[in-house]
Structure 1
Amino acid sequence: MSDSPYLAATGLQSVGTPTLWGITIAAVVALLVLDFLVTRKPHEVSMREALGWSAFYIALPLAFGAWIWSRFGSNQGVEYLTGYLVEKSLSVDNLFVFMLLLAAFAVPAELAQRALLYGITGALLLRAVFIAIGAAALQTLDFAFLLFAIILLLTAAKLLRDAVTGHEQEVDISKMRSVRLLRKFMPVTEDYHGPRMVVRIAGRRTLTPFALVVTALLATDIVFAVDSVPAVYGITEDPYLVFATNAFALLGLRALYFVLHAALSRLVHLSYGLAIILAFIGVKLGLHWAHGIWPGVPEIPTLASLGVIIGVLVIVTLTSLRATSKAGGGEKEIVVERR
């Protein structure tokens, strides 16, 4: 893949050599296969198991970031770490929506991690497509940065509105178009049949609720890909780093879900923090676009972006914990409707 105009103009070395692309994609596929093997036998995940896998999936991207830093320099190292932090933050919000969906469908505890894994795999595939589209847009469209900036600012506004109204806490599966469409074409059983999506009842192929869960998770993946990919392109324009940060942020979500399951509902101010981060990156992209037209327009350094993102995440975490503590340990109310 050719370098972006920004990389060419700044003289920075592109990280994504064909060999590195091949190794990384093979590693991601291998890790996904490993996760599917781990979840092959449905079982309820213990905290010890979840902590072990979470530690592995945090140590792996950090070690990779250290290698990027030592091999390609501090600029790429900071871009990778900042992009990874942004994607990991957005993935936590993704997890909260997954939690609502699993509750709405009353997914048995032993099937939760397999459902999550399907959602994560779908997210990886969709983001790979969006990354390729984003790279092509940056190479051919002069206003691509402005377009990405507008997308992020609109997403930030929606997040803020939903946080104020509490809309993000509600999941009504009867209104999900993907679920309604499936029910029109095939009947759905009342009970789960393990991780099977289709069973035969009285000689007729019938969907299971697990198939509806997976469909709903994949539908939400599309929404999250729309804002997550432009967000990381606001940090780095190297498609390889964009892919690597997305892949590493998503791969550990299966285990992280069970570690953070209780804590997720206490992060009552997370949406406010993500809205600020996305708006900040949107402004950063807008300034970068304007700088290409009017060189006197200042740009926001990536290192400064890293500081802002860390600061916002720390503040919203502390304020969330303080707010829920004052409320007697109260948590976000999860509102689900099943029909």
Structure 2
Amino acid sequence: MSPGTILAAPDQGTIASPALWSITVAALILLLAIDIVLTRRPHEVGMREALAWSVFYLVLPVGFGAYLWGVFGTGVAVEFFTGYVVEKSLSVDNLFVFMLLLSAFAVPHELAQRVLLYGIVGALVLRAVFIALGAAALQSGTWAFLLFGVVLIVTAAKVLKGDDQHVDIDSMRSVRLLRRFIPVTADYRGFRLVVREQGRLAITPLALATVAVFATDIVFAVDSVPAVYGVTEDPFLVFATNAFALLGLRALYFVLRDVLTKLRHLNYGLGVILAFIGVKLVLHWAHGLWAWVPQIPTLASLGVIIAVLITVTLTSLYADRRTASAAGGGDEAGRVRPLEREPVDP
């Protein structure tokens, strides 16, 4: 029996054998450990470094998808790539909120990558929890598809409505709680989260920023996990798409931090994608009850998602160019930013 056959041995409800799960989790931990080592020295990330790591984290899912294609066939690979595109597009919104938080806490540029790394680790842990809960819900009955679909449609409606939500640090319960019971230093102390001052333990602003980023992770996990379950019911593929999408966020942040504010129509695109997947889930639930109800194929879903992302990117660039021409290139008035979700504390 070949190694590929061992790894391909299917388990109940998933393509992955325990061996493939173990290898994937071990590789994820190794990559996070490498990130921690590389960020141990505070430094501002340059564009060349950010681009190199972004390309690396783009090649990884492509190679993994090719492996799935060769071992499990076209259907599984298409589900993986579709889920990855969904998660990656939603992670751009995640990055925008991270950018607002880093600005609100005045995090020094040389410390930003460590805060982002903490946020990614927190997001991975939360996604794993939500993925397990989602898998349990799906095993209990098809009603979970209806629930996930409604959640995504409601979220899409809020996004498309364009509610003006901003990050308000002082209103976050977790931050207020920490400030109430633990002294906070007046300045940053490198990567240190906790220090001792005048015989008492105190936390640094870096700790507050980390808590705020972790709180936003909860909001995004609620949306992203049901979204990818709309593409595949396999918990392993759901976990893999989330992991690959999140791993490259730190590097992608430094590549896109000056571009994000120019994608003024991104929130509408994400709203359309969430609504589309929500409808797909509802149709899937209804098809289980009434066979005549049509379903949306995964390959068609991939085409729709890519088309939406390309469309909002082009329209954003066109609108930005028109605004710059009309205002002499310096007027930011009327710009519609990507979704700014108010962090919600657990």
TM-score band by shorter chain is over 0.9
Q: CA distance change for structure 1 residues 177 and 333 in 2, over 3 Å: closer, same or farther?
A: farther
Deviations 1:220-277, CA, capped at 9 Å, x for gaps: 0000000100000000001000000000000000000000110011111111000000
- Whether 1:30 aligns to 2:30 is yes
Q: CA distance change for structure 1 residues 118 and 268 in 2, over 3 Å: closer, same or farther?
A: same
Give the equivalent residue in structure 2 for 1:179: 175
Paired residues of 2:264 and 2:336 also in contact (CA < 8 A): no
Q: Structure 1 residue aligned with 2:319, among 313, 319, 323?
A: 323
**What's the TM-score, normalizing by structure 1?**
0.92
Q: Distance in 2 between matches of 1:67 and 1:120?
A: 25
Paired residues of 2:142 and 2:288 also in contact (CA < 8 A): no
- Identity between Structure 1 and Structure 2 (%): 66
Deviation at 1:302, TM superposition (A): 0.4
Map 1:1-339 onto structure 2 (within 5 A): 3-4=12-13, 14-161=14-161, 164-167=162-165, 170-328=166-324
Structure 1: segments with no counterpart, 5+ residues: 5-13
Paired residues of 2:273 and 2:308 also in contact (CA < 8 A): yes
Paired residues of 1:3 and 1:238 also in contact (CA < 8 A): no
Deviation at 1:333, TM superposition (A): 8.0
Paired residues of 1:123 and 1:225 also in contact (CA < 8 A): yes
Deviation at 1:26, TM superposition (A): 0.2
Deviation at 1:154, TM superposition (A): 1.1
Residue type at the aligned position of 2:226:
P
**What's the TM-score, normalizing by structure 2?**
0.91
Q: Distance in 1 between matches of 2:163 and 2:148?
A: 26
Q: Distance in 2 between matches of 1:154 and 1:141?
A: 22
Q: Distance in 1 between matches of 2:234 and 2:262?
A: 35
Paired residues of 1:115 and 1:214 also in contact (CA < 8 A): yes
Equivalent residue pairs, number: 322
Structure 2: segments with no counterpart, 5+ residues: 1-9, 341-346
Paired residues of 1:16 and 1:239 also in contact (CA < 8 A): no
Q: Secondary structure at the match of 2:43?
A: coil
Deviation at 1:140, TM superposition (A): 1.0
Deviation at 1:49, TM superposition (A): 0.6
Residue type at the aligned position of 1:242:
V
Residue type at the aligned position of 1:284:
K
Cα RMSD of the aligned pairs, angstroms, is 1.4
Q: Secondary structure at the match of 1:122?
A: helix
Paired residues of 2:265 and 2:336 also in contact (CA < 8 A): no
Residue type at the aligned position of 1:22:
S
